[in-house]
Amino acid sequence: MKHVPTINKSGPQPQKLAALRQAHREWNESPDVLTRLTRRLSTTLNLETQLAILADEIGQVVPYDHLTYRHQITSRDFVYATGMGGPHRCDYRLNLEGSFYGTLSLSRRQKFTEQELEGLELMLAAAICPIRNACHFIAIEQAALTDSLTGVPNKRAMDEALTRASCLGERHGEEYSLILCDLDHFKQVNDRHGHVVGDHILKLAAVELERAVRNSDCVYRFGGEEFAILLPHTDEAHARVVGDRIREFINTITVNCGDTDVSVTASCGVAMRLPEETADQWVARADEALYRAKDHGRNCTRVFAAIGI
């Protein structure tokens, strides 16, 4: 006969449960620096919050004047800094299992002792796993908000940005303008030269769009061959100037396909956000302005005027 193991349905022994509760209580109440540090870091995946916790815990053990953390997560720079600097400095490269998770630097007026440096290394060893998890979380979030072909933010990121802009516009009366930019006759490019060429042109278009705008502006791939550009602190007149500059930059794109060069033009629709206007209404007006640009022969900019049409 086959032996069937007996399962104890009564659960763990009371002594084991009591020991577990005691261990949990000690972990929560332990005054040990490393235990407290790891406990605090485990409460969040926000890297900025984690670094603030780490800075606080380090300061209670090793006094410092300035702390800086730098890391490039995917294609974006992340910098956290607190305090003012001093002439004496120590730098740490945060590595775990062969992967790099940023550089942390501390400085102060007095030289760090060997005992203090050893203490810093112990604290960073306890913090590296939570920091790694927070870096991974940022990378996942960025991937979800980034267009995989062009590398610019995607429609989901645009929707979130427009919602934030609408809230700020209502709260502080700030001016925001939106440009919708569509590559003209792009379907013909794909049909005649293939999607490889078409994808290459889309990548080049994203590069030219980012070159044409300010650092404070943001370019999004709205869908297909359509891009959106959000312009903070910009009225419709200045947004129209940006739209024309965008078209000039797009017009410089040329792709050699052997026996012929492929170029592309763009049409732009501009709309400045109106008071009490929802993000969807705002986008709809920019889209209407883009439709007018295409209806007037393409390769031009049209504005959905805030006052009068």
Residues annotated as catalytic (active site), given as ranges: 225
- Please state whether 156 falls in left (phi above 0), alpha (psi between -120 and 50) or beta: alpha
Is the CA virtual torsion 294, 296, 300, 303 positive or negative? negative
Q: How far is CA 85 from CA 48, 54, 82, in A?
A: 20, 18, 9
Specify the residue for token string 């996942």.
140
What's phi and psi for 31, nearest 5 deg? -80, -5
Side by side, the strands of the sheet bearing 76-83 are 76-83, 66-73, 99-108, 88-96
What is the distance between the alpha carbons of residues 258 and 152, in angstroms, rounded to a whole number?
Answer: 29
Are 201 and 150 in contact by the 8 Å Cβ rule? The answer is: no
